[in-house]
Amino acid sequence: MGTNCNGEYFVVQAKENGVQVIGLTRGQDTRFHHSEKLDKGEVMIAQFTEHTSAIKIRGKAKILTSHGEIDAANE
């Protein structure tokens, strides 16, 4: 069984130090399964898989998906 669920990628670019990208699991119980910290300017490219159904972003970041662009914590 492969890890590619639907080929959906997303990009997170940190706009400040300490931005957290948290992966949430699939299944009956949704749990945190992975966390990354990004510093200002760092970019993370990730993919939804059979294990990751959602992500949570803490901090100021730009998120790019096939559905558009989001500025998280934009004031």
Do 6 and 37 meet the contact criterion of CB atoms below 8 Å apart? no
Do 44 and 22 meet the contact criterion of CB atoms below 8 Å apart? no
> How high is the pLDDT of residue 26?
72
> How high is the pLDDT of residue 54?
84
> How high is the pLDDT of residue 48?
82
Hey, what domains does the chain have and what are their CATH numbers? Answer: 4-72 (2.60.40.50)
> How high is the pLDDT of residue 13?
97
- pLDDT string in tens for the chain (75-residue length): 444 455 688 999 999 999 999 988 877 776 767 889 999 999 999 888 877 788 889 999 999 999 999 998 766
